[in-house]
Each structure stands twice: as C-alpha cells, then as structure tokens.
Amino acid sequence: MAGTINKVILIGHLGDEVKMHYFEGGNAIGRFPIATNETYTNKQTGEKVTTTEWHNIVVRNKLAEICEKYLSKGDKVYVEGRIKTRQWEGEDHTKRYTTEIHVVDMTFLTTKKELNAPAPQMDECACSADGCKTIGAFTRCYQK
C-alpha cells in the first residue's frame, strides 16, 4: 500500500455538552469530550478493572450545529475521524499541546434529547451531498 492512513473509530459517551464557537462567514466548530472504557480482569486478584480514556472531539459547521441540538452529556455516539495535534503558547509562555479527533462521520447511537425532539430531517442537514440519514433511533451524519 502506498501512502499512509490517519483514521480513528470510537464508540463512547459524551462527557460534557457540546461547546460551540462561531466565526465570521457563518462557519462553526463544536467541541466535546467522549469517554471510552476498557474492562479486564486482574489475574492476581480476580477483580474486574475498568479504565476510561478521554478523547477530545471536534465537529464543524452543520454537523456541529446538529450535535449541539441533539446531543447531551451521557449520550452514546459512534465517531470516525482523523487524529490532529495542535500546539499553542500558554499564558506562562510554555508550549501546550492537545490531541483531537476531527470528525468525518458520526452516528448518534442513543440520545436523551431524541425523546423530546424529532430526529433531524434531510432538509436541515447539509453535511454532505448525502446529508444525514435517520433509520429508526439512529441518525448518521456525514461531514464534508
């Protein structure tokens, strides 16, 4: 295989509400953490141990707005995206780094808001040529 690949697939629960930031020109970005868990049995004690890994998720434009509208803390989501690391200089003049998952494809597996609001309709999603697809309780959104 020629070239390289940068692809991440996660299924996890939102650790907080979607935080939105809007830019001039109408673009938007949403950020939220999701938690994934791994459970194993400690061979020495026989005790079940669960570890949690936190992931910083980034969604853009219409997909960000849909996430803000339909997702809340605790909801379960399927996410596909790319790993990106960015750096900046902190107030104390030290270099800071963060690693994020920039979402390309997402499916809402469970949402608390789905009981109170209708699922997104094709005409309100412009994530891609295909837009969002809703099948039963599952909504799949595609980022441009």
Which structural domain range is residue 116 located in? 8-142
pTM recorded for the entire structure: 0.75
> Is residue 114 one of the residues assigned to a domain?
yes
- For 120, the token pair is 């997104």
How does pLDDT run across 43-59, given as a tens digit for each residue?
Answer: 999 999 999 999 999 99
In the chain, the number of structural domains is 1
Closest by Cα among 24, 101, 20 to 68: 20
> Is residue 71 one of the residues assigned to a domain?
yes
Q: Which CATH number belongs to the domain containing residue 49 in this structure?
A: 2.40.50.140
pLDDT band (50, 70, 90) for residue 32:
very high
> Is residue 58 one of the residues assigned to a domain?
yes
Give the C-alpha separation, 68 to 77, whole Å.
13
> Is residue 29 one of the residues assigned to a domain?
yes
Q: Taking residues 24-41, report their average pLDDT.
A: 95
Among the residues of 42-100, which ranges form H helices? 61-70
Helix, strand, or coil (residue 68):
helix
Give the C-alpha separation, 26 to 62, whole Å.
10
How does pLDDT run across 78-120, given as a tens digit for each residue?
Answer: 999 999 999 999 899 999 999 999 999 999 998 776 556 555 5
The per-residue pLDDT for 24 is 92
